[in-house]
Amino acid sequence: MAAQAGFFAGGLIIGAGGAWLAAKRESKPQLVQGGAPAGASAAVGAAPAVAGPTVVTPAATLSAAAPVPASASASAPAPAPGAVPAAPSAGAPATHAVAGPAQVTVAAVHDALAHSGTPSPTTDILAHEAYVSAYDRRLRHPVWTAEHLTAESLQRRDGANRANSIFTEDLRIPDAFRSTNAAYFRSGYDRGHMVPAADAKATQNAMNETFLLTNIAPQVGEGMNRDYWAHTEDFCRRLTRTFSDVYIFTVPLYLPRQGADGKWRVSYEVIGTPPSVSVPTHFAKVILGVNNAVGLGRAKSFSMGAFVIPNSMIPNSAPLRSFEMDVGAVERAAGVDAQAVRLGHV
C-alpha cells in the first residue's frame, strides 16, 4: 500500500497576494477569489451557459423526408415540430420532401472532417529531451508542461550553459499560430519559462529546448519571474533531496474575479501587435514526490501538492504554503487530470 502525505500540513489555506481559499478534504474545495464561498453560483472553471448548435441526427434527417399519408385530411392538425409522420397506407402515392441546406447528416459531416480535419483549436503535444508540453494555438503559450526530476538528472554533464541559449520561435507550430519574440517586445512582461533552464542541464540541447517559445508564457518580471517564481522552481529542485523521483506539471491559469455586481468574470491582457499572446492570471505547479521502496518490507511512499501563484509582484517574505491548493481544485480550474501521474508512477 502506498503511503501519501502532503508537502505542508494545513486545512483552510489563505493565499497571500489575493484572498484565495481552498477548503480541503471534507468540503471538496474549489479555487475561489475574493473570499466568496465555494458554493457560489459561479464556481471556478464554470463557463456561462450558451445556446449550442442544433444537432441534426440521421434519424431526424430521414424523418424530414418521410412520405405524407394520402388519407390525411386538410383539416387535420399539423404535426408538432420534429414529430415522425405516420406511415402511408398501402397503394398511396409517395410524396417526398426535398432536402434543404439545413438537412445535413452527421455521416456527411464526419466524412468532410475526415478529409479536412477538425476546425476547433488544436493542442500540439511536443516532446523534448527534458520535458513534454502541450501548446495552445489560441492562447499561444503552453497548456501544460510535464517533467521528471531526479538528483542525477539535475547534474550538469557536458558544460551546458544558459548563456549559450536564446529565445527561439518553435518552427513546429504553423506560422499563423506561432508565438513570437516580437509579441513580447516592449510588452512589459518577461518571457517566463514553464520548465526552467536549470531543470535541463544534462545537455546544451536540452537547455536550449527550454528557450523555445512553446515553453514560455508572459510573466510579471520583478517580484514574479525573476523572484518568487524562481524561488518556487528552486523549491521543486530541492525536493530531489527528499524524494527519489519528482514529477512536476506547470499550468498557466485564467481564474475569475467577482465584480461589484456579484458576477464572476475572467479578464486578462493580450500582448503583441496585433494582439496574439495571452497573459495568464495565475500559474500552478502540481508536484508529485515519490520514494521508491528499498529493501524487504518497505512500502513506496509519495507526497502530492499543488500551488497556485498569481501573475503579479509577490514579496519574497510570503510563505509558499500560503499558495497551496487542493490538487483536485487545480485540476478542475485547469482542465488537467493529474490522475494519470498518480496511477502511472505510484
* Rounded Cα distance, 336 and 328, in Å: 9
Query: How many Cα atoms within 13 Å fall on the side-chain side of residue 208?
Result: 9
Residues 6 or more apart whose CB falls under 8 angstroms from that of 257 comprise: 33, 34, 264, 265, 266, 267
Closest CA to 22 of 306, 312, 247: 306
Beta bridge partners of 212: 168
Question: Is residue 120 classed as helix, strand or coil in its secondary structure?
Answer: coil
Residues 6 or more apart whose CB falls under 8 angstroms from that of 210 comprise: 128, 130, 131, 165, 193, 195, 196, 197, 199, 200
**Catalytic residue flag (residue 282):** no
Annotated catalytic residue, options 96, 110, 148, 193: 193
Question: CA 11 → CA 14, 65, 154, distances in Å?
Answer: 10, 62, 33
* Rounded Cα distance, 124 and 132, in Å: 11
* Rounded Cα distance, 243 and 315, in Å: 28
- Any known ligand binding at 311? no
Cell numbers found for residue 45:
472553471
Detail the residues annotated as belonging to a binding site for Mg(2+): 225
| Residues annotated catalytic, as ranges | 193
Binding site: residue ranges? Answer: 225
